[in-house]
Every structure is written in C-alpha cells, then in structure tokens.
Amino acid sequence: MKKGLVLAFGELFLKSPNVQKIFKKKLIENLKNFLKREHFNFRLYFSRERIFVETEQLKKAERIVAKVFGIAWFAPGFFFEKEGFKKIFDFILKNYAFWIKEKETFALRLKRGEEIKEERTMIIDEIAKNIKRKVDLEKPNKEIFIEARKEGWYLYFKKKRGAGGLPVSSGGKVLTLISGGIDSPVASYLMAKRGAENIWLHFHSFPLVSNKSIEKVKKMANNFLQYQPELKVYFFPFGKIQMAIKAKVFPQKRILLYRRIMFKIGQEIAQKENCYALVTGESLGQVSSQTLPNLQIIEKAVFLPVLRPLISLDKEEIIKLAKKIGTYKISIQKQEDCCTLFVPKHATAQGNLKEIENIEKRLDLKKLITLAKKETEILKIKNF
C-alpha cells in the first residue's frame, strides 16, 4: 500500500489516443520538474487514467500539484499496486473509524474497470455491510471513493479542484509582450493554461528611466515558474526608438506607432523562437490604443496571429486573476516604463492606417532597431 495523491487528467481524454500519449508525456514531465524543485522524496506511478504521487509530504505535494495545468482534480489517498480486493477490504475495515465518526453518514463511490473479476455489487456490499455507520447516498458526511483498475486499486476521500487546462508546452510556443503592469502576466498565465509555452518580451527605456520595470519583470518571471517549468525573457531597449518617434510625430499618433513597432520586433523574435503567435494583455476599450479601430491598425503591422486572452474582461476581473496567480503585488509596484515617459495625455481613439504607415516609412528606424537588437539581453530561468 502506498500513500500519496491520486491525480486525474483533465480534458486530455477529448483528444485522439496518439495525441493523448503526447500530452500525458508532457504532463508527467512537467509534474516531475515542479516536484523536483521542492527537493522532497516522491515517486510517480501512472496509468491510462490516473497518476499517483507517492509521498509522505502531502501538504507540500498538494500545493504544487494544484498549479499544474492538465490536472482536473487531485485527492489525498492510497494506491494498492497490483493488489486485489482482499487487501483494500482489510485496510478499510481497520481504518474506517478514523475517517468516519460514529454519528456521521457515509457513501461508497466505486469505479470498476472491465478487467476486474469482482462484481460491482459484491464489492460495494461486502465493504458497506462491515462499516458500522449509516449509509446516505444523497448527502453523506463522508465519501469513500474506490477505483478498481488493472494496475491496482485506488482509495481516496475528498477531491480537490486542479488547475485544469492542458499541459504547458503541449500546444506550441507563443511570444508574450510583458509590460510589467497587471494585465500581461495574467494573459501569459491563461495561455499557459491552454498548453502554450510562453516566451516573454519586455520593452524598457533604461537608462533614460530607472530599471524598475526590468526588475519587476524578473520578479514576475520567477513567480511564473509556478506554472511553467522554464522561461526565456527578452529585455529590449526601446527608449531611443521612442525618442526618435517623439521628435518627429504628433503626440496623438505616437502610441500607435510604438505598438506597431513593438509588434514587428516581437514578430521577428517569435519567428526566431518558433512561436506560432504573439500574445498581449489588451482588453477591449481599456485605453485608447485598445479600441477596435486601433487594435486593427496595430495588428496589421504583423502577419502572425495576435492572441488577446483578456479581450472581454474588465479591470476588476483581471485584478482578481492577478491576485490569484501571485503577480498583482509585483505589478502595482511603481515604475517608469517605456510608455510613461513618452505617451501623450490624449492619444487618438481612432487612427488612420494609411497615415500611420506613411509616417513609419518617413521615420526609417531600421538603424535604431538594429542597434537595439544588439543591446537586447536574454534571461533564461528554470525551476529545476
């Protein structure tokens, strides 16, 4: 008998058998990496429908498992590997009094694989009649879950919700534009939940302003290792490019130009990193650059898909998610980012694409962008 956590796969079972194998392999790889980071003893057992984490440090394991994408639910319990009904029957009879108090009711919940020789009714009847507690199938005080499968028998009591989603990096890579604010880390988290591996790109204006935004993004990156086993971050110096735009462009047009150039630079890095899309923390109508006309103008600067996981969320919903994932307190730390120094007070809410494209041609920023690329720093961090 082994003690630990029973883990259930999420929506992996909607995939074809071959895709399931790939996704399960990635999930197990991620799980191992997250558990190894905490430096405690564990062992994994996995089968077609379940993973079992054998460990004595349940609380620590639960804290880690709860954040691993691809797991629908988990439960503290026991695994009787390659052992039959007699073993689990004896174990329940010896211990049920510790789980169910005298005046409490209980219910047995059984899942039985076709390969199990014991009949379903026999299993339930034999166990239930020897538990000296009242049965209540509708609203029991305690539930005993039993799963009889080819690889062994699982016994557990209370299911806890997992992170859901799909295993990180099972869906390819995306390049996420990270500002240091509240929104973009949340967008990155939601993409990770859908199986995408994030690479981050942060535009900064150091040394024209302080390096606070750079330090914030580094803190966020370390926090993000709770959800993605490793992360690459590009720190792109954008100040000189913004100064060139500020010197030649009317204030109302600048933000659209900044964003378009950021997207173009992002697309180039994304192609280098074999990313399938760009990701932003934009929310419809939140600021002038995020109106539908301006989103269209900005997006036309690139051919890669631009994914906006927060597009329909309001600020309160985004803040709630930021607090949940642990980035909110980092995000609200004061900074001078690459926009606050150069963004006008009143940017246009509806730009003109041809006008913006003509301004871009006149600016000729190739030399500045090339120089900035050479000064770009790359940080690689891992949680194992």
Distance (Å, rounded) from C-alpha 71 to C-alpha 68? 6
Distance (Å, rounded) from C-alpha 148 to C-alpha 155? 9
E strands along the chain, which residues?
2-9, 43-46, 50-54, 71-81, 105-112, 134-135, 142-149, 152-156, 160-161, 173-177, 197-204, 230-237, 275-279, 306-307, 377-382
Please check whether residues 72 and 192 belong to one and the same domain. Answer: no
Residue partners of 224: CB distance under 8 A and separation at least 6 = 185, 188, 189, 192, 198, 231, 327
**Percent of the chain whose predicted confidence (pLDDT) is above 90:** 72
pLDDT at 338: 52
Mean pLDDT across 151-177: 95
| Domain termination site, one of 161, 192, 217 | 161
Please check whether residues 134 and 204 belong to one and the same domain. Answer: no
If one counts the domains in the chain, the total is 2
pLDDT at 360: 87
pLDDT at 340: 54
User: pLDDT digits over 225-257, tens only?
Assistant: 999 999 999 999 999 999 999 888 888 888 899
In a domain, 168, yes or no: no
**Percent of the chain whose predicted confidence (pLDDT) is above 70:** 96
Question: Per-residue pLDDT for 382 more than 90?
Answer: no
Could you tell me the residue range of the domain that residue 65 belongs to? 2-161
Tokens for 308, please give them.
């906006």
Please check whether residues 378 and 295 belong to one and the same domain. Answer: yes
pLDDT at 119: 92
In a domain, 167, yes or no: no
pLDDT at 79: 96
In a domain, 96, yes or no: yes
Please check whether residues 148 and 188 belong to one and the same domain. Answer: no
In a domain, 66, yes or no: yes
Please check whether residues 22 and 132 belong to one and the same domain. Answer: yes
pTM, full prediction: 0.90
| Domain termination site, one of 104, 137, 161 | 161
In a domain, 59, yes or no: yes
In a domain, 166, yes or no: no
Please check whether residues 122 and 217 belong to one and the same domain. Answer: no
Contact 184, 280 (CB under 8 A): yes
Please check whether residues 197 and 345 belong to one and the same domain. Answer: yes
In a domain, 225, yes or no: yes
Banded pLDDT at 341 (limits 50, 70, 90): low
Please check whether residues 196 and 273 belong to one and the same domain. Answer: yes
- 339 versus 271: the higher-pLDDT residue is 271
User: pLDDT digits over 264-321, tens only?
Assistant: 999 999 999 999 999 999 999 888 788 898 999 999 999 999 999 999 999 999 999 9
Question: Per-residue pLDDT for 342 more than 70?
Answer: no
Question: Per-residue pLDDT for 337 more than 60?
Answer: no
pLDDT at 39: 84
Please check whether residues 157 and 227 belong to one and the same domain. Answer: no
pLDDT at 49: 84
Question: Per-residue pLDDT for 339 more than 70?
Answer: no
pLDDT at 290: 85
Number of helices (H) and strands (E) in the chain: give both, helices first.
13, 15
User: pLDDT digits over 191-227, tens only?
Assistant: 999 999 999 999 998 878 778 899 999 999 999 999 9
Mean pLDDT across 69-96: 94
pLDDT at 336: 63
Question: Per-residue pLDDT for 143 more than 80?
Answer: yes
Please check whether residues 223 and 335 belong to one and the same domain. Answer: yes
- 56 versus 346: the higher-pLDDT residue is 56
Mean pLDDT of the chain: 91
Please check whether residues 62 and 194 belong to one and the same domain. Answer: no
Banded pLDDT at 17 (limits 50, 70, 90): confident
Please check whether residues 131 and 249 belong to one and the same domain. Answer: no
In a domain, 285, yes or no: yes
| Domain termination site, one of 114, 141, 161 | 161
